[in-house]
Amino acid sequence: MDQFASCFGKAGSLIRLNCKTLEYKYFPFDPKGYRLVLVDSCVKHELASSAYNYRRQSCERAAAAIKKNHPEIDFLSDCKRVWLDEVRDQISSEDFIRAEYVIGEVQRVLDVCDALERGDYETVGEMMYQTHFGLSKLYEVSCEELDFLNRLARRLGVTGSRVMGGGFGGCTINLVKNELYLPFVAAAKAEFALKFGHAPKIYDVVISDGARRL
C-alpha cells in the first residue's frame, strides 16, 4: 500500500485500493475547515512483525472455515459478516474477532468512500474512530500510547482519530476542525508528556501527487 500510494498519489484525493486485484479509484478529499494532523507517539514495539504473522494466520483459518460453506471466496475481504457467524463454533474466539475486524473494516472503507463523495467529513471522522476501536479491541494492534491519544482526541472534540500504519506504536492520524487545532496540539503534547515522559511529534499532513518527473 505504501509503495502504491507513493506512485499513484493524487493531490486532493484519497485512493481506494483493492489489494487482491490492484484495482483502484480516487475519491475527493477537500476538507475545508479541517486539518489533517499526524501525532507520532515516538514508540516502536519490536514484536510487531511476529504479532502480525499470528493475525494473518488467524485470518487465514477463519477464511478457510468460511470457504467450506462458500467455496467461491479466497480471502476475508470476499466474505459477508453472516458467513462468519455461520462458522463461529468452528473457529477459536481469537480467530473470530480478528476476522470480525477485517470484514467490518471492508464495509467501513466503502462507507467512507460514500461519505467522501458527499463531502460528509463527520461520517468520515466517526468511521476513523470505529476503525481505531476495531484495531485496538478486535485486531489488537494498538498500544497504550495510541489508545491514549485516541481517547484524548475524542474528549477534545476532534472529528476523527485512528491508528496510522501498522500499529504497535507509531502514529495516530487525526481529522481536526481548524478552531480545535491549537488546543488539540497543546493538549496532546502536554498530557502525553505528563503520562509517558516525552512529548509526541506533530506533523501537518498534505495530500499531494505521487512520485513524478520534475
The H-or-E segment that residue 122 falls in is helix 121-133
Among residues 2, 30, 74, 111, which one is catalytic?
A: 2
pTM of the complete model: 0.94
Residue 140's SS3 state is coil
Per the annotation, the verdict on 2 as an active-site residue is yes
| CB burial readout 166-183, b (16+ within 10 A) else e | ebbbbbbbbbbbeebbee
Where helices occur in the chain by DSSP H, the ranges are: 2-8, 48-69, 81-86, 93-118, 121-133, 144-155, 181-196
- pLDDT for res 169: 87
Q: How far out from the chain centre does Cα 154 lie?
A: 16
Domain 2-204 superfamily per CATH: GHMP kinase, C-terminal domain (3.30.70.890)
How is residue 60 annotated by DSSP?
A: H
Which three cell numbers mark 116? Answer: 467522501
- pLDDT for res 52: 85
Domain ranges of the chain: 2-204
Q: Per-block average pLDDT, block size 10, for the chain (214 residues)?
A: 90 94 95 96 76 92 97 93 97 97 97 97 98 96 95 98 88 97 98 97 93 83
d(CA 129, CA 131): 5
Q: Rg of the Cα trace of the chain?
A: 18
How is residue 91 annotated by DSSP?
A: S
